[in-house]
């Protein structure tokens, strides 16, 4: 019996509607009115192109629908294939190479390109596509007006020039990121992940022998992984240069198939690649023009579907591939397909059980608060967002399980070599551990025609039992080294690592290389059943009064008495201005308080409705200020009269107040007034405000308020 339960929002069955546009509703409205859809959220204007307009009127861009461009226009011509995609006048080979890979996997393809879309009647000029975005599937609606220059599509087109599905996918993705110009430059893995929701990673070609590499890539293709490759350019000027073999440096190629052929007594291992341009092909051995095919049986050529035409697709031997290419990019649909030889060929097969659980979190790096930089910045690294990872269940890694060591998997020899014995021993150790895969992606880094990725990485630390549940401070990170990391800081969208860790408690610290780099990020952790992930935050608390109860100095007592004799009115009390004059005559110049802070200090005391303080209250408050000055001075290491907001949490702890990450971020933003350094009066205002809120919470009788907790209370009132 079918369940009527609706799929969760953000799933492939129930994607989030981008810009709140519902495809079915718009389609029905257009069919009813007889009007073709015109998308006002991504208009047929230059701003959607996202690049400077060409001054030559002959090169003016027109926006036309497929049937206006080509009489024989179709959405899909026959079946979808790699040659449906050719790169136009836009540097987005990374995206189109990923799209070429996607066409090789029909079950994945229909997730991105929903079926039953056509240019035939009933036709309303509207199409929809789905992309994975940081843990959620998003549906993007577009009209079919496409940019045209001199009668031809400006950007992606099909080899036959009659087919339009790839151009419309490109338009939908451009809308998702802001403009066509925002697609310029990128990593193939970015497109692969957004088309599948999978895990993308890089493999150095030189790390394996040609035969082992070929076998690994063949297995990856059979498991439904997307594969692409490129030759590294030594400099920016080398990008796009064509080598003597007809290959393009810094350019993304899709790996669409592998095969092997017999030539005399030799077995030749081959890979099939595709250039997203749709032309400019490899000219070496086993290419379309290679003479090596002449000695091959006709049946063998037909079996591997050899097509000797300029379509961007070609074969290359594993030996030549290994000597010419540098990097292979792979995208596995789930962690199980990262394990060679253990999963069925179909990535979406229900018969492929997965014991992995996924935990997902979004985070922020905020200037002066949670953007602490790398480990070299010892004073602020600990302020980076921390995520708690609890590993309880050991798991049995698969026999060929590859982790971050990235060792060769060569089992051709019958007898175990010393190296294989070493690996077998290591496998026994893994069996006592927990397998975990951590990936971190930075968000929203495509702006107009520029891609600005921060240098990012994450580190994993083992937490001793006595510190579990606590926010780890600077002292912990000074004394402990990470047990795992993503590797060197990299300026790309995502970094990941697969690790085997002992059962226990850990924290994952997400960071940018330099402090104060503002950004958003997404972390997902794949682990075996029974392991959990949470944010490393805690319940805010205050021990303010005991800490602040310090005896007043004799000279302060004299100063208070003298001030009251000369300044106090008939009620024997001081108002805010009189209080300011007295405090500033006692405190060092760098620690003087403005009138507004003095008003806040008065309202933080029990004045029974008055806006002034008694002698005793003034003397107690001055003693408290002396204490705050001492604590502030401790963190004002350069004697500038200001304190880095990174140290705010620690300074508050010295006062006796412990605040979680969100509360500390709000305090920093409010009382540092947007500056990177907080003056003394900002610190005083911060403490005064917190002290009042803690006291109000303690006096609160509402059970609903108590159930929500102190953290929620503080966040609610700090924004007022």
Close Cβ partners of 687 (under 8 Å, ≥ 6 residues apart): 544, 628, 652, 655, 657
Residue whose C-alpha is closest to residue 175's, from 363, 8, 9, 21:
21
**Helix extents (H) in 197-339:** 210-222, 298-303, 318-324
Burial class from Cβ neighbours inside 10 Å (0-12, 13-18, 19+) for residue 113 reads: buried
List the catalytic residue out of 86, 101, 187, 275.
275
List the catalytic residue out of 128, 251, 361, 681.
251
Q: At CA 71, angle to CA 70 and CA 75, rounded to 5?
A: 70
Rounded alpha-carbon distances, angstroms, from residue 95 to 47, 90, 553: 21, 11, 70
- d(CA 35, CA 29) in angstroms, rounded, equals 9
Structure tokens at 570: 């008939």
Residue whose C-alpha is closest to residue 517's, from 447, 459, 454:
454
- d(CA 61, CA 40) in angstroms, rounded, equals 18
Instruction: Report the C-alpha dihedral over residues 234, 236, 240, 246, rounded to 10 degrees.
Output: -10
93 flagged as catalytic:
yes
- d(CA 70, CA 152) in angstroms, rounded, equals 9
Q: What is the β-pairing status of strands 327-332 and 456-462?
A: unpaired
Structural contact between residues 118 and 134, judged by C-beta atoms closer than 8 angstroms: no
204 flagged as catalytic:
no
Q: Largest Cα–Cα distance in the chain? A: 114
251 flagged as catalytic:
yes
Q: What is the DSSP string of 315-366?
A: EEEHHHHHHH--EEEEEESSGGGGSTTSS-S-TT-TTS---EEEEEEEEEE-
Residue 701 is classified by DSSP as -
Assign 713 to helix, strand or coil: helix
Assign 108 to helix, strand or coil: helix
What strands lie across the sheet with 152-153, from one edge to the other?
62-64, 146-149, 152-153
List the catalytic residue out of 93, 229, 540, 659.
93
**Helix extents (H) in 202-326:** 210-222, 298-303, 318-324
Residue whose C-alpha is closest to residue 499's, from 461, 536, 534, 537:
461
Close Cβ partners of 643 (under 8 Å, ≥ 6 residues apart): 632, 635, 636, 651, 677, 678, 680, 683
Say if residue 122 is preceded by a cis peptide, omega within 30 of 0. Answer: yes
**Helix extents (H) in 451-606:** 474-479, 544-548, 554-567, 576-586, 595-603
Rounded alpha-carbon distances, angstroms, from residue 634 to 475, 647, 648, 673: 16, 10, 12, 21
Phi, psi angle pair for 541, to nearest 5°: -150, 160
Burial class from Cβ neighbours inside 10 Å (0-12, 13-18, 19+) for residue 430 reads: middle
Structural contact between residues 254 and 97, judged by C-beta atoms closer than 8 angstroms: yes
Residue whose C-alpha is closest to residue 579's, from 552, 548, 614, 545:
614
Instruction: Report the C-alpha dihedral over residues 217, 227, 282, 324, rounded to 10 degrees.
Output: -60
CA atoms within 13 A on the CB side of 12: 14
Residue whose C-alpha is closest to residue 268's, from 320, 228, 229:
320
Which residues are tagged catalytic? 93, 251, 275
């Amino acid at each position: 019996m079918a369940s009527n339960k609706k799929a969760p929002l953000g799933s492939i069955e129930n994607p989030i509607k981008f810009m709140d546009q519902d495809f079915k509703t718009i389609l029905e409205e257009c069919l009813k009115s007889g009007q073709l859809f015109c998308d006002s959220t991504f208009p047929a204007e230059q701003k959607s192109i996202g690049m400077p307009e060409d001054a030559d009127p002959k090169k003016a861009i027109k926006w036309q629908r497929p049937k206006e461009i080509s009489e024989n226009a179709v959405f899909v011509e026959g079946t979808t294939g790699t040659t449906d995609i050719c790169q136009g006048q836009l540097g987005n080979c990374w995206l189109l190479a990923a799209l070429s890979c996607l066409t090789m996997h029909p079950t994945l393809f229909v997730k991105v390109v929903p079926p039953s879309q056509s240019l035939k009647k009933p036709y309303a000029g509207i199409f929809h596509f789905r992309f994975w975005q940081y843990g959620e599937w998003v549906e993007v609606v577009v009209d079919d007006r496409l940019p045209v220059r001199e009668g031809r599509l400006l950007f992606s087109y099909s080899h036959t020039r009659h087919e339009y599905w790839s151009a419309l996918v490109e338009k939908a993705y451009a809308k998702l990121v802001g403009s066509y110009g925002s697609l310029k430059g990128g990593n193939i893995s970015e497109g692969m992940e957004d088309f599948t929701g999978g895990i993308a990673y890089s493999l150095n070609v030189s790390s394996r022998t040609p035969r082992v590499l070929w076998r690994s890539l063949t297995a990856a293709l059979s498991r439904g992984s997307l594969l692409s490759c490129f030759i590294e350019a030594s400099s920016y000027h080398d990008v796009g240069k064509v080598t003597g073999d007809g290959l393009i440096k810094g350019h993304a190629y899709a790996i669409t198939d592998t095969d092997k052929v017999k030539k005399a007594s030799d077995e030749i291992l081959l890979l099939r690649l595709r250039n997203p341009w749709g032309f400019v092909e490899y000219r070496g051995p086993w290419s379309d023009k290679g003479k090596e095919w002449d000695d091959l049986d006709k049946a063998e050529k037909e079996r591997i579907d050899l097509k000797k035409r300029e379509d961007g697709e070609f074969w290359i031997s594993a030996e030549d591939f290994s000597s010419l290419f540098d990097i292979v990019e792979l995208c596995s649909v789930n962690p199980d397909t990262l394990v060679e030889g253990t999963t069925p060929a179909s990535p979406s097969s229900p018969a492929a059980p997965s014991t992995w659980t996924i935990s997902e979190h979004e985070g922020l790096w905020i200037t002066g608060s949670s953007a602490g930089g790398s480990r070299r910045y010892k004073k602020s690294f600990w302020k980076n967002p921390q995520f708690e990872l609890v590993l309880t269940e050991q798991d049995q890694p698969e026999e060929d399980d590859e982790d971050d060591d990235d060792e060769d998997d060569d089992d051709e020899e019958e007898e175990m070599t010393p190296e294989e014995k070493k690996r077998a021993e290591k496998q026994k150790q893994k069996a006592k551990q927990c397998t975990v895969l951590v990936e971190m992606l930075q968000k929203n880094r495509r702006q107009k025609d520029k891609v600005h990725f921060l240098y990012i990485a994450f580190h994993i630390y083992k937490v001793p039992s006595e510190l579990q549940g606590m926010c780890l401070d600077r002292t912990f990170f000074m004394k402990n080294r990470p047990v795992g990391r993503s590797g060197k800081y990299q300026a790309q969208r995502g970094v990941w690592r697969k690790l085997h860790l002992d059962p226990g408690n850990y924290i994952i610290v997400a960071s940018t290389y330099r402090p104060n780099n503002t950004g958003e990020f997404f972390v997902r952790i794949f682990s075996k059943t029974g392991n959990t992930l949470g944010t490393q935050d805690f319940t805010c608390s205050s021990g303010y009064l005991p800490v602040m109860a310090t005896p007043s100095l004799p000279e302060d007592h004299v100063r208070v008495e003298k001030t009251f004799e000369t300044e106090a009115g008939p009620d024997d009390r001081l108002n805010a201005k009189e209080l300011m004059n007295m405090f500033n005559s006692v405190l060092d110049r760098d620690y003087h308080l403005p009138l507004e802070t003095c008003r806040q200090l008065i309202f933080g005391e029990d004045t029974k409705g008055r806006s002034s303080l008694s002698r005793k209250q003034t003397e107690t408050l001055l003693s408290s200020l002396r204490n705050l000055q001492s604590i502030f001075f401790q963190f004002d290491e350069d004697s500038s009269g200001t304190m880095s907001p990174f140290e705010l949490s620690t300074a508050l702890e010295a006062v006796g107040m412990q605040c979680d990450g969100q509360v500390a971020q709000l305090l920093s933003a409010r009382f540092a007034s947007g500056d990177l350094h907080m003056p003394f009066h900002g610190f005083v205002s911060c403490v005064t405000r917190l002290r009042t809120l803690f006291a109000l919470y303690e006096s609160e009788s509402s059970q609903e308020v108590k159930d929500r907790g102190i953290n929620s209370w503080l966040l609610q009132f700090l924004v007022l």
